Amino acid sequence: MSDSLQIRLVGWRVRLPRPRIDRARRRALVSFALLLLIWELGSTSASWLGTPLPVLGRIPSPTAVGTVWLHLLGQADYWGSWYQSCLRVLLGFTAALLVGVPFGLWLATNRLAHGICFPVFEMLRPIPPLAWVPAAIIFWPTQELSIASVIFLGAFYTIVTNVLGGARAIDARLIQSAQSLGASRWTVFRRIVFPAVLPSIFVGMEVGIGITWEVVVAAEMISGGGSGGASGGLGFFIWNSYVGGSYPQIIVGMLSIGIAGYLSSSAIRWAAPRVMRWR
Amino acid sequence: MEMNKKKQKNFVNKDPEITNLASGMEVQGVAKYYGDGPLRRTVIEDCSFTLERGKVTVMIGPSGGGKSTLVRLLAGFEKPSAGHILIDDREVQRAGPDRLVVFQETALYPWMSTEENVLFGPKAQGVAAGTARARVDELLRRVGLAGFRDKYPAQLSGGMKRRAELARALANDPAVMILDEPFRGLDAMTRSLMVEYYAELIEETRTTHLFVTTDVDEAIVLADRILVMSHRPMRLISDIPVDLPRPRHLLDVIANNKASDIKRRVIELIHLEVMRSFGGRTSGMKSTG
Amino acid sequence: MGQSRGALSFVDVTKTYRPGDEHVRAVEHCSFDVPPGEIFMIAGPSGCGKTTLLNAVAGFQGIDAGTIRLDGQILCGPDRQALPGPDRVVVFQEGALFPWKTILENVAFGPIVQNRLSRRDALEKARALMADAGLGGHEHDYPATVSSGVQRRAEIVRALMNDPTVLLLDEPYRALDRITKSLMHESLLEIHARSGVTILFITHDLEEAVFLGHRVAVMTARPGRHKQTIVIDLPHPRDYSIVTTPRFRELLQEVSDAVREEAVRAFAQGDAEGGLAVVR
Amino acid sequence: MAAPATGEPDELELIAYRLRRWVASPRPYLALVGIGLLLGFWYLTVDLLQLPRFAQMPGLPAVLHEFLSRNPDYGTSLFTADYYQDVWASLRRIAIGFALATVLGVPVGLMLGWSQRFREYVFPVFELLRPIPILAWVPLAIIMFAGSETPVVYLTFLGSFFVTALNTLLGVRSIDRRYLLAAACLGARPWSVFRHVIIPGALPFIFTGLEISIGIAWFSLVAAEMVSGQYGLGYLINTSYTQVEYPTIVIGMVTLGVVGYGTSVLVRAAGAALRRGHTRGG
């Protein structure tokens, strides 16, 4: 049946999936242009309207942000901030993955471990990761470690929850048929449970990496900004720009982190089908 | 499509005698209920029958009656609440060591290729790689999937998936093969081809089979004996022998008078049961037979 | 026999799909007539365009050439796509009862949204129709909590609430087990005996085609053309014991041979769903 | 306790039965063991063994003493007024932010799912802004909005808005096409399709979205309060860190956990109640 199924409800057309690609792209461009236009007019309204608009009036205009960004592209410490933040995200996220997946699988397969650890896990989960920042600063010797520990926490909860969810959703018949074919517990785990949970691990990773970026920005702002350490990173870059009064750089920092976050989740989306060739 | 009549003689099991590996099974007064207190539900009530060694027993009854539960009890996935299930006079332990193989629809592992799926059983039981691979090649060729060996289940059609599942079950030389509505969900055309195809397969393997279905024609083409089961709580209503010559074809069931008599008897028994299962709320429906 | 309206005539109907760049001709020069008030079965191998014809009548899709007429008026043609409406109601293969409405609200849905009846009258008529179809007692159940047999019958009653000219059934009982299927057959025959609505019924199951149909149209393998229409002269009302009578077995033989030829060709073209490679 | 023979066992009996089964099962005792281990580890490392790494950390007895005493050393305990002021400040911001995000997010999500034109214009911009971490908005929020209250509420709203809108959109896209076709067949006009199919069909996803959204709201709130708030639990935790009142940090964290959990239970209960009204078995 053709994909672009069209229903003509009485007097009103609903064209269902797969719109023509060119029209969609055209409309996206129109909306971006509109957004930039409103932003530009809004923020420069002070000059030709006399009084700045209440909210929009206070933020720097796209042209200002554009020029600053171009200038920054040549700066070493701009890319230094990128490097710092990406490094922290990578370390914290990988640690969360290496600890979270086995822990999740252990809870999923061992009833006793689940009985004891899961209630505690659930009890601590509502505490937002950022509430741990002060405690982490006290506990860990260096600034770096305390930020990394909070990042770890952010991603850890998401990964474990998804792994547990994935393990619980496995079709019992897959495990039963393996047993009926004489597979040992270890074979069942290695060749049935783990591959079956893999898709939810990837979902956990994609959501986890998003949260990691949220946390790294905050941790850098709170700890970096707070004690003035030269911890760097995009979060600190934004906070520093705010404190230093160069507002356009704030928006450059925001968009940069947005891009960094988008790139990391699309990297995971790109990797998933390669690892799970059967999808 | 005229099924290729020429018999393939070089299959591993030369003589059509019952393979010495096959075993009989005995179900004695088995009952099964779930939950207790207000939530108690009795699914099977005092069910007794035997699975003759090397013969095909077909179990037919209304859906939701408890047949799948009985399959799980036979396979050792669950324990009966009462009564005993014996394989060669030994209580059933777990599926693996008793070489009880359960054929479950959509139980192919999506992340393994067709060959890996069929290899899974022999490999899990530690069969030497060489012999395992040889046996699997032979089976894949016999089910007509030799060309699809490294395709993933998602790339196979419904009929092909069923045949891959069949090959995987047979790869283990099962003492008893339990099939729970294996051809459900296939369109009628593929289903009839698969039934005939499976009838020939039984001819050659001669192992003990329990075949669960709701399709009368399937039952008559495959069965040495038909067990007609009641609605929930399930019990055995009637045990009908089917001594038609083999190999049988679906068209025989339509043309042959003996087969039609059996078919009419089974339909009448089941209709009576189903009427009760609808709990008489079918005032609008003419009760038949 | 049955009502006088609901006569369908397909003249030289052609439809081509263009998934991506290549194009697939589903139906080509397909012509046949459906007399009013009858249960008209369409059987054929998978991929022979059965569903395409049904979607064209229902108004979900257009056709590239030829015309489809309903009681003489043009329903759709190359330039005119039919509008979906309560005169041609479809019952889908996997069922489409709204899970968030009770069975009664589902059945009364049509007249209410068309503002044909007040909510009270619609619910009352729905209750009566459900009782007739043996669904009494299920009024306030939600679809997810009832058996698939009850769901199927409820969906047909929901269609009949709108007194449709044609009832379009797209393999409605495919997902059911054989025993529930035979019950559904008897219930459908009964409903048809009472309402006399024209039924266009698509199926793979040949025994179902012969048992239910007044006529069985056999389609060729893709691109689908009308091969032949076999008249089923079994007496009405029919019940399940007819399945073992000689006349029934003869008709089933005739239909099976006609369809099997096409199944082989469909298979050769790689259309067959079963894709059973010729073994050995 | 004679359960009605055929009918469903009544609600109360079901709960009693499940409670009995829960108490009989090992689950509650294992949970106690888990919690005991956690507190034991904390007490052991900080107070008993006084390991160097844990020297700075507030001990279990210190926190308990502070939390339960009439006049706590650092001014914050169960009995002091400004503790409840902080809790109330956070709750009020969550309520406003979450309510706004729901009232705006659901309709936007429904429109994104239902209207092709709206989706093609709005969704690209939506996807551009979504990856920007909430915290990156803090400086801009402070600049944009006067005072300290509005930026915090804005940030709480922002996180929840994106999640709610996205899940509602996924909800509409999850509706199987045959329900739309069936409604069209039964003569439903576009508005009836929207009311009778789109909204109820998307409901389950909308509720999962709300459960995630309340979590994100707390996440954003705490961060915003730590950086720029006046009152609130995030502010409490941050200031008690800067003024070296370490036990109060733990009090703030525990309160956040309890209050946060409470709000998620509320959202889940509301969802279940509404859903039960809609699909009894569904």
* H helix or E strand, kind and range, residue A208: helix A194-219
- Confidence at D23, pLDDT banded by 50, 70, 90: confident
Q: In terms of Cα–Cα distance, which of D82, D65, D94 is closest to D152?
A: D94
Residues of D in contact with C88 (CB under 8 A): 185
Contacts of D282 in chain C (CB under 8 A): 99-100, 142-144
Q: What are residue B83's phi and psi, to 5 degrees?
A: 80, 180
By Cβ distance, the residue of C136, C180, C243 closest to B281 is C136
Q: Which of B96, B99, B110 sits opposite A179 (nearest CB)?
A: B96
- Is the confidence at residue A138, as pLDDT, over 50? yes
Q: Name the minimum distance, in Å, from the CA of A171 to any CA of chain B.
A: 9
Which residue has tokens 């079994």?
A: C234
Q: Give the DSSP H or E segment for A137.
A: helix A133-139
Chain A: touching chains (3 or more CB pairs < 8 Å): B, C, D
Architecture of C2-86+186-279 per CATH?
Answer: 3-Layer(aba) Sandwich (3.40)
| pLDDT higher than threshold 80 for residue B39 | no
Could you report the per-residue pLDDT of A104-133, keeping only the tens digit for each? 999 988 889 999 999 999 889 889 888 998
Q: A62-275: which CATH architecture?
A: Orthogonal Bundle (1.10)
Angle at D239 between CA D235 and CA D242, to 5 degrees: 145
Distances (CA, A) of B175 to A125, A180, B179: 50, 12, 13
Helices (H), B183-228: 188-205, 216-222
Check if A222 contacts D (Cβ < 8 Å).
yes
| b (16+ CB within 10 A) / e for C37-72 | bbbbbbbbbbbbbbbbbbbbbbbbbbbeebbbbbbe
Q: Do B289 and C134 touch (CB under 8 A)?
A: no
The secondary element (H helix, E strand) that includes residue C89 is: strand C88-91
What is the C-alpha to C-alpha distance for residues C156 and C161, in angstroms, rounded to an integer? 9
- B157-161 mean pLDDT: 81
Per-residue pLDDT for B7 more than 70?
A: no
**pLDDT higher than 70, residue B154:** yes
Interchain proximity C96–D182, CB inside 8 Å: yes
Of B112, B154, B172, Cβ closest to residue A181: B172
Residues 6+ apart with CB under 8 A from C26: C15, C16, C17, C47, C49, C52, C222, C223, C224
Residues in chain C predicted with pLDDT less than 50, given as ranges, are 1-2, 274-280
List all residues of chain D from 6 to 25 with a beta carbon under 8 Å from chain B.
Answer: 9, 13-14, 17, 20
Helices (H), chain D: 11-24, 27-43, 60-68, 81-114, 116-129, 138-144, 149-174, 177-185, 190-193, 199-228, 233-242, 246-278
Element containing residue C132 per DSSP (H, E):
helix C119-132
In angstroms, the separation between the Cα of residue C80 and the nearest Cα of chain A is 11
Looking at residue D281, what DSSP letter applies? -
The identity of residue C160, as a single letter, is L
CA torsion through residues D127, D129, D130, D131, sign: positive
Whether the CA torsion D212, D218, D221, D226 is positive or negative: it is negative
Nearest to A151 by CA among A132, A179, A134, A126: A132
Listed in sequence order, the residues at least 6 apart from A132 whose beta carbon sits closer than 8 Å to its beta carbon are A149, A150, A153, D253
Sorted by where each starts, the structural domains of chain B and their CATH numbers stand as 1-24+51-79+88-98+174-289 (3.40.50.300), 108-172 (no CATH)
Smallest CA-to-CA distance from C153 within C123, C132, C128 is with C132
Searching chain B, which residue's CA lies closest to the CA of residue D11? B38
- Asked if residue A19 has pLDDT above 60, the reply is no
Provide the 3-class DSSP secondary structure of residue C278: coil
Nearest Cα residue in chain B from A198: B111
Residue D74 forms contact with A (CB below 8 Å):
no
Which residue from A173, A276, A278 is facing B104, i.e. has the nearest CB?
A173
Strand partners, A28: none
D15: nearest CA partner in chain B = B38
Residue B5 is predicted with a pLDDT of 36
- Domain segments of chain C as ranges: 2-86+186-279, 88-163
- Residue C217: C-alpha distances to residues C32, C249, C268 (Å): 8, 18, 22
Contact C264, C276 (CB under 8 A): no
Please tell me which of the candidates C17, C81, C84 has its beta carbon nearest to residue A2: C17
Distances (CA, A) of D243 to A145, C223, D106, D248: 22, 81, 42, 10
As a whole-number percent, the residues of chain B with pLDDT over 70 amount to 84
Q: Is A21 on the interface with C (CB under 8 A)?
A: no
Give the whole-angstrom CA distance, residue B118 versus residue B171.
7
| Buried-state track D135-166, b at ≥16 Cβ within 10 A, e below 16 | bbbbbbbbbbbeebbbbbbbbbbbbbbbbbbb
Q: What is the pLDDT of residue A16?
A: 44
Taking a contact as any Cβ pair under 8 Å apart, which residues of chain D between 187 and 226 contact chain A? 188-190, 193, 215, 218-219, 221-223, 226
Give the span between the Cα atoms of B255 and B253, in whole angstroms. 6
Q: How far, rounded to the nearest angstrom, does the alpha carbon of residue A79 sit from its chain's CA centroid?
A: 20
pLDDT tens digits, one per residue of A169-216: 888 888 888 887 878 888 889 889 999 999 999 999 998 998 899 898
Which candidate from B4, B260, B281 shows the least CB-CB separation from C137?
A: B281
- Asked if A272 has any chain B CB less than 8 Å from its own CB, the reply is no
CA distance B55 to B224: 6
Asked if the C-beta of C165 comes within 8 angstroms of chain A's C-beta atoms, the answer is no
Looking at beta carbons, which residues of chain B come within 8 Å of C46? Answer: 187, 189
Q: What is the pLDDT of residue A231?
A: 54
Residue range(s) occupied by CATH 1.10.3720.10 in chain A: 62-275
- Tell me how far apart the alpha carbons of residues A199 and B113 are, in angstroms, rounded to a whole number: 17
How far is the C-alpha of C163 from the C-alpha of C174, rounded, in Å? 25
Q: Does B285 touch chain C (CB under 8 A)?
A: yes
Pairwise CB contact (< 8 Å): B96 & A176: no
Instruction: Report how far apart, in Å, the C-alpha atoms of D143 and of each of A235, A247, A254, D208 are.
Output: 17, 9, 14, 33
Interface chains of chain C (3 or more CB pairs under 8 Å): A, B, D
What's the CA angle centered on D226, arms D221 and D227, to 5 degrees? Answer: 105
A173 touches chain B (CB under 8 A): yes
Tell whether D134 lies on the interface with A, counting CB pairs under 8 A.
yes
Look at C61 and A1 and tell me if their CB atoms are within 8 Å. Answer: yes
ipTM > 0.95, yes or no: no
* Nearest-neighbour CA in chain A from B119: distance (Å): 10
Residues forming a β-bridge with C65:
C14
User: With an 8 Å Cβ cutoff, are C51 and A1 in contact?
Assistant: yes
Domain annotation for chain D: domains and CATH numbers? 87-282 (1.10.3720.10)
D9 pLDDT band, cuts 50/70/90, is low
